Structure 1
Amino acid sequence: MSKMDNFIDVGYSQLTKKNEEICGDRVEIARTDDGVIAVMSDGLGSGIKANILATLTSKIAITMLKNGEELSEVIDTIINTLPVCKEREIAYSTLTIIYTKKTGDTYIVEFDNPSVFYYNKEKNIVSKLKYNTITINGRIVLEAQCHLKENDSIIAVSDGIIHAGAGEVLNYGWEWEHVAKYLQGICLNKNAMMISKSLTNICNDLYNDKPGDDATVVAMKMKKPQVFDLFTGPPLLKEKDPVLVEKFMDSPGKKIICGGTAANIVARELQRDLVMDVDTVTEKIPPICHMEGIYLITEGVLTMEQTLNYLREFLNNTVSSRTIRELEEQNGATILANTLLYECTHINFYLGHCLNAAYRNEGFPQNLQRKFKMVGQIINSLRKLGKIVSIYYF
Structure 2
Amino acid sequence: MSLFVDISFHSLIKFEEELCGDMVEAVRLSDSIIVVMADGLGSGVKANILSTLTTKISATMLKEGANIYETVDTIVNTLPVCKVRKIAYSTFTLIKIYDDGRVYIAEYDNPPIFIIRQGRMLNIDKKEIIINDRKVYESKFYAQTGDVLIVVSDGVIHAGLGNIMNLGWKWESVADYLQRSTIDRNDAQSITKDLSQVCWDLYGGKPGDDATIVTMKIKTPEYVNLFTGPPKDNGVDEQIIKDFIKSYGKKVICGGTAANIVQRELNRPLTVNLDFVCKDIPPTANMEGIDLITEGVITLNRVLEMIKEYKKSVSSSEYNYDISGKDGASKLTRMLLNECTHLTIWLGKAVNPAHQNSNLPMDLSIKYNIVNELAELLKSLGKKVEIKDI
Letter in 2 for 1:50: A
Residue 91 of structure 1 aligns to a residue in which SS?
Answer: coil
Paired residues, number:
386
Is 2:279 the partner of 1:283? yes
Is 2:260 the partner of 1:299? no
Q: CA deviation at 1:42?
A: 1.0
Residue 84 of structure 1 aligns to a residue in which SS?
Answer: coil
TM-score norm. by structure 1 comes to 0.93
Letter in 2 for 1:143: E
Q: Output one character per residue of 1:106-164: Cα deviation in whole Å (capped at 9) or x when no partner.
A: 1111111000001022xx31255432211101111111222211111211111111111
**48-57 vs 356-365, which deviates more?**
356-365
Residue 278 of structure 1 aligns to a residue in which SS?
Answer: coil
Structure 2: runs of 5+ lacking an equivalent: none
Q: What root-mean-square deviation, in Å, do the aligned CA atoms of Structure 1 and Structure 2 show? A: 1.9
Alignment of 1:233-312 (within 5 A): 233-312=229-308
Structure 1 CA distance for aligned equivalents of residues 326 and 378 of structure 2: 21
Give 1:28's aligned residue.
25
Q: CA deviation at 1:322?
A: 4.7
**154-163 vs 170-179, which deviates more?**
170-179
Q: Which among 226, 229, 246 is matched to residue 225 of structure 2?
A: 229
Structure 2 CA distance for aligned equivalents of residues 128 and 89 of structure 1: 31
Q: Which among 149, 152, 166 is matched to residue 147 of structure 2?
A: 152
Q: CA deviation at 1:33?
A: 2.9
Residue 371 of structure 2 aligns to a residue in which SS?
Answer: helix
Q: CA deviation at 1:289?
A: 0.9
Whether the 8 Å contact between 1:313 and 1:319 is mirrored in structure 2 is no
Structure 2 CA distance for aligned equivalents of residues 319 and 327 of structure 1: 17
Give 2:181's aligned residue.
186
Is 2:191 the partner of 1:203? no
Whether the 8 Å contact between 2:297 and 2:364 is mirrored in structure 1 is no
Structure 2 CA distance for aligned equivalents of residues 110 and 277 of structure 1: 53
Q: Output one character per residue of 1:7-57: Cα deviation in whole Å (capped at 9) or x when no partner.
A: 222222222222233322111111223321111011122233222211110
Whether the 8 Å contact between 2:153 and 2:212 is mirrored in structure 1 is yes
Residue 205 of structure 1 aligns to a residue in which SS?
Answer: helix
TM-score norm. by structure 2 comes to 0.93
Instruction: Flag the 1:142–1:82 CA change in 2: closer, same or farther, 3 A.
Output: same
Instruction: Flag the 1:214–1:313 CA change in 2: closer, same or farther, 3 A.
Output: farther
Give 2:389's aligned residue.
393
Q: Output one character per residue of 1:75-107: Cα deviation in whole Å (capped at 9) or x when no partner.
A: 010011101111222211111011112222211
Give 1:116's aligned residue.
113
Is 2:136 the partner of 1:130? no
Whether the 8 Å contact between 1:281 and 1:288 is mirrored in structure 2 is no
Q: Output one character per residue of 1:233-279: Cα deviation in whole Å (capped at 9) or x when no partner.
A: 12223323223222211211210111122111111221111111123
Residue 247 of structure 1 aligns to a residue in which SS?
Answer: helix
Is 2:43 the partner of 1:49? no
**280-289 vs 124-133, which deviates more?**
124-133
Structure 1 CA distance for aligned equivalents of residues 123 and 157 of structure 2: 14
